[in-house]
Amino acid sequence: MSRRRFAGRRALVTGASRGIGAAIARRLAAEEADVAITARTLDAHPTLPGSLQETAKHLERHGGKVAVIVADMADAQERARIVPEAVDALGGPIDVLVNNAAAAIYQPLRDYPLRRRLLTFEVNVHGPLDLAQAVIPSMVERGEGWIVNLSSGSARLFRMPPEDDGVLSTTITIYGASKAALNRLTNGLAAELYGTGVRVNTIEPRAAVLSEGADKLVGDKLRPDQIESMEEMVEATVALCDCPPDHTGRIDVSLALIDELGLTVMDLDGEAPAALGGGGARE
């Protein structure tokens, strides 16, 4: 792996004010990509740490162009300006799109409100497709591009009788359904674009990544073997931001992909191997 593998490329990462999105953006910038980041939180969130301004400071240390775009992925009009603003600010078309932003509202289906269902699918399904549609024409014209959608193991079906693992149980069904839809979009887009040089893939964690939001939701309910490191998730994701043309249409799992490709998990600045804990997520 070259520390300069993204030199000359422009990347757009959604949901980059904190958590996985911020970490992916930081790693792309460390490997010399120019990076546009977008989220709703510019300066401060009322309950969670992290902001676009904080992420931008990390990115700017690496010397490339950084674009900050405040937008709500739940609003079709707001997200319609994300790609044009990123192209403007970075000085050219997007080479790498990472659809990380997500809405996660957990509660039982029997009383799950329509308003929350609509919001979840707006952010988790329609938003990623809208941004993909916006970047695809220039990618096809140039003969290469990378679209990476972040999904979840919750997209898989429950076995019957269902096993309550004491964490999320069936309250995660709507979120999982939206991620299952995203996986299908990944596969369908990849099929449509096969042979154009545009790679479209999904990545999901094998175990929970304790971003600020996830920690608040379920952090106290997880065993060590149900957690993987941020560095592992980022390593797998950035591999898909530079994968060959025949690696497309896949629903990859972070730790399995790391093993398949024989990757060394690096720190978020790509400077040294990450100090990984022994929680057992890779077992």
Catalytic positions, please? 175
**How do beta strands 34-39 and 66-70 pair?**
parallel
Give the pair of three-digit tokens for residue 143. 């003969």
Single-letter code of the amino acid located at 122: E
| DSSP element (H, E) containing 26 | helix 19-30
Q: Distance between CA atoms of 21 and 23, rounded to whole angstroms? A: 5
Q: Distance between CA atoms of 1 and 235, rounded to whole angstroms? A: 11
Which residue, 65, 196, 79, is CA-closest to 134? 79
Contact 122, 36 (CB under 8 A): no
Helices of type H across 48-172: 52-60, 76-80, 82-90, 114-121, 127-142
**How do beta strands 34-39 and 10-14 pair?**
parallel
Q: Which residues pair with 209 in a beta bridge?
A: 228
- Angle (CA) 218-221-225 rounded to 5° is 105
